[in-house]
């Protein structure tokens, strides 16, 4: 990941940059030290007009569960920087990724209580966050802090919102109509509660529009939620904002109440002094205690969590940590950026394919450059197919029939290319007789006779089957686990060998014609595709602790 500035530079008076810690659509975040040794996070804004409104709404807010904003400064080039609290930890998104089946219930209650206090404090100050998601929430030593205020909006603002803002997986249905109030944060917290408990999102799909339509129409599957959480999640994710929890404090009380044991009340009323015998045991009921004085209030069995309850004081001290969006989830890029990356990948793929085929040509002692040229063209076509067929999907995208069908369709084109490179030259002569052909011109490139059709069909079926069977979009996903994965190489060879029975000439020339192009293409695609590495883990391994 390349940053605009390097370590040691002083872009702002009084601060020295140490390293870049995050980069996204709204700018770059650096870890820096003040001249007095204070650790801070400096954020260089890419979209000043968009994010400054949100930051200014939170400039003077102070809460133990919020990332603090210290100041807004401009450098000598006129660029805007935000000076923020530096928080050393990991995001809630990274924690959830490590626990795909959900977090322990007691930990969910503790963290959700802290989240509710932070969001409730924002609401009490007349601010709605509008971009609550695990990537914007940071955990360290059991403490939780909410950050990233770029989309925060004042509840008293009369400005009409004309477009959807936020992250689609956490968007309330009413956002489509431009309505932004406290209910959308309640909805987003409901989505995060579901995700913390199950390790999955309640709604997912192939595109942002598909996901948003599910927010408008679908009902979340709550069958896998722990006992007591299903009605809470359903209420928080209600399509009608008036039926959701009115405040985050009310939401938090409902979550905390799931910890109470469910017991059947037993009413044993015995006169004072009466003995109740149970086998060899006997128990004498003492005289009843006098009722409490009227001045002493009777406590309800349900615990009440206030926005600034003493529970926050019981948490370990919270150290300052980065407010950068961790790259566990790929940031949203403008279409120009995506087009530039796609063009770069497509242009670099043939060069890398040619470089990778040189060792094969030397080892196999290929003396016919034309034969190696055919392998190069097929391999390049496979690499382009893997890049274009991915369609910008992430590594964690759901495995559905549509991307596989798209890859299979592109595989037909690759099979047609491979057949054409053979020059349509397949045996058609009868024994002892002249060559007979009822060939027809195909796009003016050659002729296909009746006996060649089965061979062409096998080319098409082989490449369509191989590309339709594997999850090839993972090779070019920005959020893949590693830049180059040996497992992806093994998968390419597996699918190539599994469908070898479809190869037109049996096992003859199957290595250079099919297996080798798949292996080389899988390596080339990973090498030329953009990759956003995960944030380095903290030195001390994070431990999940009970409440």
Q: What is the CATH number of the domain that holds 199?
A: 1.10.510.10
Q: Which of 101, 79, 95 is nearest to 12 (CA)?
A: 79
The answer, yes or no, to whether residue 398 has pLDDT greater than 50, is: yes
Range with the poorest average pLDDT among 77-91, 221-235, 331-345? 331-345
Q: Which helix (H) or strand (E) holds 74?
A: strand 69-74
Residue 101 burial by Cβ neighbours in a 10 Å radius (0-12, 13-18, 19+): exposed
Range with the poorest average pLDDT among 118-127, 137-146, 488-497? 488-497
Q: What is the mean pLDDT of the chain?
A: 76
Residue that wins the pLDDT comparison between 445 and 385: 385
Residue that wins the pLDDT comparison between 469 and 240: 240
**What pLDDT sits at residue 159?**
52
Q: Which of 191, 193, 159, 151 is nearest to 173 (CA)?
A: 191
Range with the poorest average pLDDT among 2-16, 162-176, 456-470, 499-513? 499-513
On whether the CB atoms of residues 171 and 164 are closer than 8 A, the answer is yes
Q: Is residue 146 part of a domain?
A: yes
Residue that wins the pLDDT comparison between 98 and 260: 98
pLDDT in tens, 60-93: 899 999 999 999 999 988 899 999 999 888 899 9
Q: Is residue 83 part of a domain?
A: no
**Which residue among 257, 292, 307 closes a domain?**
257
**What pLDDT sits at residue 300?**
44
Structural domain including 391 reads 335-426+438-528
Q: Is residue 364 part of a domain?
A: yes
Q: Is residue 51 part of a domain?
A: no
**What pLDDT sits at residue 33?**
95
User: How far apart are the C-alpha atoms of 47 and 483, rounded to whole Å?
Assistant: 29
**What pLDDT sits at residue 452?**
54
The answer, yes or no, to whether residue 296 has pLDDT greater than 90, is: no
Handedness of CA 391, 394, 396, 397 (dihedral sign): negative
Range with the poorest average pLDDT among 99-103, 179-183, 518-522? 518-522
Q: What's the pLDDT band for 22 if we cut at 50, 70, 90?
A: confident
**What pLDDT sits at residue 164?**
55
Q: Enumerate residues 6+ apart whose C-beta is below 8 A from 365.
A: none
In the DSSP assignment, the letter for residue 349 is: H
**What pLDDT sits at residue 54?**
81
Residue 396 burial by Cβ neighbours in a 10 Å radius (0-12, 13-18, 19+): middle
User: How far apart are the C-alpha atoms of 311 and 142, rounded to whole Å?
Assistant: 12
Q: Is residue 327 part of a domain?
A: no
Q: Is residue 401 part of a domain?
A: yes
* Residue appearing with tokens 């061979």: 455
Say whether 280 is catalytic: no
Task: Give the HSE-up count for residue 123: Cα atoms under 13 Å, Cβ half-sphere.
Answer: 19
pLDDT in tens, 310-337: 444 444 444 444 444 444 444 444 456 6
Residue that wins the pLDDT comparison between 229 and 424: 229
User: Of 71, 75, 79, 131, which residue is the catalytic one?
Assistant: 131
Query: Does 475 lie in the same domain as 343?
Result: yes
Q: What percent of the chain has pLDDT over 70?
A: 71
Query: Does 363 lie in the same domain as 505?
Result: yes
Query: Domain count of the chain?
Result: 2
Query: Does 345 lie in the same domain as 229?
Result: no
User: How far apart are the C-alpha atoms of 32 and 34, rounded to whole Å?
Assistant: 7
Residue that wins the pLDDT comparison between 141 and 147: 147
* Residue appearing with tokens 């926005």: 307
Q: Is residue 315 part of a domain?
A: no
């Amino acid at each position: 990941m390349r940053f605009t500035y390097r370590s040691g530079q002083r872009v702002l008076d009084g601060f020295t940059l140490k390293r870049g810690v995050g980069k996204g659509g709204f700018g770059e975040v650096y870890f820096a030290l003040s001249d007095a040794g204070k650790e801070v996070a400096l954020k260089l804004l890419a979209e000043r007009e968009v994010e400054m409104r949100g930051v200014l709404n939170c400039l003077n807010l102070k809460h133990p569960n919020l990332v603090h904003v210290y100041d807004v400064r401009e450098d000598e080039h006129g660029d805007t920087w935000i000076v923020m609290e530096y928080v050393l930890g990991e995001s809630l998104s990274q924690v959830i990724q490590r626990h795909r089946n959900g977090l322990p219930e007691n930990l969910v209650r503790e963290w959700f209580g802290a989240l509710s206090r932070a969001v409730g404090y924002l609401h009490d100050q007349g601010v709605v966050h509008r971009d609550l998601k695990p990537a914007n929430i940071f955990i360290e030593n059991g403490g939780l802090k909410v950050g990233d205020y770029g989309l925060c909006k004042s509840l008293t603002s009369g400005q009409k919102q004309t477009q959807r803002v936020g992250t689609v997986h956490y968007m309330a249905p009413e956002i489509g109509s431009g309505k932004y109030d406290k209910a959308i944060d309640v909805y987003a917290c409901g989505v995060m509660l579901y995700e913390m408990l199950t390790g999955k999102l309640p709604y997912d799909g192939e595109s942002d529009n598909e996901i948003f339509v599910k927010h408008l129409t679908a009902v979340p599957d709550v069958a896998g939620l722990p006992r007591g959480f299903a009605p809470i999640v359903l209420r928080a994710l209600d399509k009608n904002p008036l039926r959701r929890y009115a405040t985050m404090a009310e939401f938090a009380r409902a979550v905390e109440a799931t910890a109470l044991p469910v017991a059947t009340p037993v009413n044993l009323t015995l006169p004072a002094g009466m003995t109740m015998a149970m086998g060899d045991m006997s128990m004498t009921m003492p005289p009843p205690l006098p009722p409490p004085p009227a001045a002493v209030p009777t406590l309800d069995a349900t615990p009440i969590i206030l926005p600034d309850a003493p529970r926050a004081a019981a948490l370990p001290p919270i150290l300052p940590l980065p407010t950068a969006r961790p790259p566990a989830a790929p940031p949203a890029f403008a279409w120009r950026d995506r087009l530039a990356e796609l063009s770069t990948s497509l242009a670099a793929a043939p060069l890398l394919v040619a470089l990778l085929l040189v060792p094969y040509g030397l080892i196999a002692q290929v003396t016919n450059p034309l034969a190696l040229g055919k392998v190069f063209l097929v391999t390049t076509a496979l690499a382009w197919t893997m890049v274009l067929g991915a369609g910008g999907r992430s590594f964690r995208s759901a495995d559905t029939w549509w991307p596989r069908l798209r890859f299979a369709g592109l595989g037909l084109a690759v099979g047609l290319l491979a057949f054409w490179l053979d020059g349509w030259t397949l045996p058609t002569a009868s024994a002892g007789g002249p060559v007979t052909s009822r060939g027809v011109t195909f796009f003016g490139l050659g002729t296909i006779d009746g006996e060649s059709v089965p061979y062409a069909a096998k080319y098409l079926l082989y490449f369509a089957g191989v590309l339709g069977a594997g999850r090839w979009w993972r090779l070019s996903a920005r959020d893949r686990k590693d830049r180059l994965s040996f497992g992806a190489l093994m998968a390419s060879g597996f699918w190539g060998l599994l469908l070898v029975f479809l190869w037109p000439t049996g096992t003859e020339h199957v290595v250079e014609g099919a297996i080798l192009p798949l292996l080389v293409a899988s390596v080339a695609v990973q090498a030329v595709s953009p990759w956003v590495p995960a944030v380095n883990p903290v030195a001390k391994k994070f431990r999940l602790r009970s409440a």
